[in-house]
Amino acid sequence: MDYSDIQTIEHDVLVVGAGGAGIRAAIECADKGLSTGIISKSLLGKAHTVMAEGGIAASLGNVDSRDNWKIHFRDTMRGGKFLNQWRMAELHAKHAPDRVRELEEWGAVFDRTDKGLISQRNFGGHRYPRLAHVGDRTGLEIIRTLQDFCVHQSIATHMECTGLDLVLDGDKVSGLVGYWRDTGRFVLFKTKAIILATGGGGKAWKVTSNSWEYTGDGLGMAYRAGAELIDMEFTQFHPTGMVWPPSVKGILVTEGVRGDGGILLNSEGKRFMFNYIPEKFASETADTEEEASRWLEGDKEARRPPELLTRDVVARAIKKEVEAGRGSPNGGVFLDIASRRPAAFIKKKLPSMYHQFKELAEIDITEEPMEVGPTLHYFMGGIRVNSDSQQTNVPGLFACGECAGGMHGANRLGGNSLSDLLVFGKLAGDGAANYINSLTDQLDCSNEEVSKIIKAATDILNREEGKNPYLVHEELQSILQTYVSIVRTGEELASGLEKLQALKADINEVFAHASAQYNPGWNEALDLKNLIITAEAVTRAALIREESRGAHTRLDFAGERVEGLEYNIVIKKTESGMHAEKIQRDDPPKELANIAFASLKELEGENLGA
């Protein structure tokens, strides 16, 4: 087959994914004068970024002037259990405030302080009110701002176009084959560089806050092209997802509910989080309800309520309460803001939560508590990139946003995701521009590779019969839900891995009815091959990290191990299949280590601009 009859589009750089990171990367590329294209599985502005609710973390210091980038950096490292890539956490904390200001300059309208500045709210793991926000729809504000800005740059947006696989010329990326959802036709993008911004792979779990798009496409494509994945064992379970009714199980309930005063109660009406304060955070967490209330009223001397501990801690606590038989009727716990704040306040600060519970569960959160439980929310791990350029080990292939790994370590703080998208979206754009400027080779896409990708995709349609892709997907979800859950054991992980191996055969036999034109069955079948890679990578990494750290909890290896700090786990493709190995972590730069281990008092005094 000759690809001359396939539609071909040429760009200097192609960004895959149009969420916050993707659009920000594209804007940077266009700004650098590159011919830039962006593809997205959905329509522009629908990406998962809209689901981010609470806010974007940046040490603007508008609400508490003691905040600065060093404290944000320290919080991020502590939240990530010191497994983060030091340089990434540094860049993130330093650049986040500028990215937020830039959004305002592009038209974003954040909530304001009394002094007319961008308001900031409290969030789990953040020492100070740090999250710039717009009620509880911050993600929507950010994606819309970026979208409206980007349509006036010279960026070609290709909507409802899904990437299938990367094309390499030698060891360098030279293109991507994808298909248009509406027609089912294939398209070849010939490029000099590709930036992946495809998000995570939450759809491998049954209970998840992620949408259908979250099938680990970037992870799968990068892996097949020879890129490494890092920290894949760290999957974040958000402590508060809806648990009832069944059809909405997993949908996110923003951490903002707790940030604005919501408390967690068990079936006995007890505020159980006081029993789950880890030693490491004990000195910074309130130990009485009285102190927690004072904190909420703005007493700067009071310590934070335990509901605002990091997400891994809260999620595990909820799971334990439920297992101990103190759960709510539908297998969660109660999240109560009704008794803590007046109805008008709740409606003002948490409008979409109010709306979501009212319409989907017929519950008025200004009068009744919500029922919540853990839901798979975010991948800390992802494609391994260079901390400064965001380039992977495949030349010309870049990654940013959730699909890149390393920034958040073992656990991500709420609000650090939106800032991650913008900071590293921009840096990836910079990185791609630098790479292209120094690129001397003429790259090409070989017929053979392109045809191979297309054939694999059309095979699914051309089979006489086969497995139902939806049912295979459901099977995969139940495997991960059962064996690679919030609390793991070696035994379970091993059987999970076995079951995944068996499922691969089914995936090779999936069959989609009818034509390729807007055929969700076919689309689902194509996504499966990325999902299975994602699922396998998480399982393998989880199996060899024999300790409990951050979002990764092993019942058979309780507690953090000292040696756990010394390595990250990297996944790569080998002749014999997927291989997971531990790689030695570099010692941190002295200056950063000093900041990370400094006391708050030492850092608060400093008013650092940079």
Partner 1 sequence: MERNFKIWRGDAEKGEFKNYAVKLEQGMVVLDAIHRIQVEHANDLAVRWNCKAGKCGSCSVEINGRPKLACMTRMNEFSPEEVITVQPMKTFPVIKDLVTDVSWNYEQNKMIPPFKPRKKKNGIDHVMYQQDVERIQEFRKCIECYLCQDVCHVLRDQDKKEKFVGPRFMIRLASLEMHPLDIDDRIPKIKNDFGSGMCNITRCCTDVCPEHIQITDNGIIPLKERVVDRFYDPVRWIYNKLFGNGAKQE
List residues binding partner 1 (CB under 8 A). 42-48, 50-51, 101, 104-107, 109-112, 115-118, 134-135, 137, 140-141, 144, 148-149, 151-152, 157, 159, 182, 211-213, 244-248, 251-252, 351-352, 355-356, 359-361, 468-471, 474, 512-515, 517-522
The span from the CA of 592 to the CA of 398, in Å, is 25
List Cβ neighbours of 86 (8 Å cut-off, separation of 6 or more): 77, 387, 588, 589, 592, 593, 596
Q: CB 210 → partner 1: shortest distance, Å?
A: 9
Task: Write down the H helix ranges in 276-374.
Answer: 279-282, 289-296, 311-323, 343-349, 351-360
Residue carrying structure tokens 């989609």: 512
- Looking at the Cβ atoms of 245 and 577, the one nearer to partner 1 is 245
Cα–Cα distance for residue pair 232/350, rounded to 1 Å: 32
Give the count of beta carbons closer than 10 Å to the beta carbon of residue 22. Answer: 31
Least distance from C-beta 380 to partner 1, angstroms?
Answer: 22
Sign, CA dihedral 312-315-321-324, equals: negative
- Least separation in angstroms between CB 244 and partner 1: 7
Q: Between 192 and 206, whose beta carbon lies closer to partner 1?
A: 206
Residue 135 or 431: the one with the smaller Cβ distance to partner 1 is 135
Q: In the complex, what is the shortest distance from the CB of residue 59 to partner 1, in angstroms, rounded to a whole number?
A: 14
**Please, which residue, 470 or 597, has the CB nearer to partner 1?**
470
20 token code pair:
């916050």
> Which residues are marked as active site?
238, 258
CB of 245 to partner 1, least distance (A): 2
Phi, psi values for residue 371, rounded to 5°: -100, 125
Closest to partner 1 by CB, 149 vs 424, is 149
Closest CA to 427 of 11, 14, 25, 56: 25
CB of 424 to partner 1, least distance (A): 23
Interatomic CA distance for residues 10 and 188, integer angstroms: 8
Q: Which residues contact 113 (CB under 8 A, 6 or more apart)?
A: 62, 63, 119, 120
Q: Indicate the residue among 346 and 433 with the shorter CB distance to partner 1.
A: 346
Mutual orientation of helices 490-508 and 469-483 as an angle, nearest 10°?
Answer: 170
Minimum distance from CB of 5 to partner 1 (Å)? 23
Take residue 81 and report the two structure tokens written for it.
Answer: 């259990």
In angstroms, rounded to a whole number, what is the distance separating the alpha carbons of residues 113 and 63? 7
Decide: 542 and 488 in contact? Cβ < 8 Å: yes
For residues 58 and 146, the answer to whether their CB atoms sit within 8 Å is no
Q: Which of 82/110 has CB closer to partner 1?
A: 110
Long-range contacts of 478-484 (CB under 8 A, 24+ apart): 478/206, 479/503, 479/535, 480/204, 480/205, 480/206, 480/535, 480/538, 480/539, 481/205, 481/206, 481/207, 483/539, 484/235, 484/535, 484/538, 484/539, 484/542
What is the rounded distance in angstroms from the CA atom of residue 565 to the CA atom of residue 543? 16
Closest approach, Cβ 348 to partner 1, in A, equals 10
| Cβ–Cβ under 8 Å, residues 396 and 174 | yes
The CB-of-518 to partner 1 minimum distance in angstroms stands at: 4
Which one, 42 or 390, has the nearer CB to partner 1? 42
Separation CA 68–CA 60 (nearest Å): 7
Q: Which is nearer to partner 1, 345 or 518 (CB)?
A: 518
Burial class (CB in 10 A: 0-12, 13-18, 19+), 320: middle
Give the residue among 325, 382, 294, 306 at the shortest CA–CA distance from 571: 382
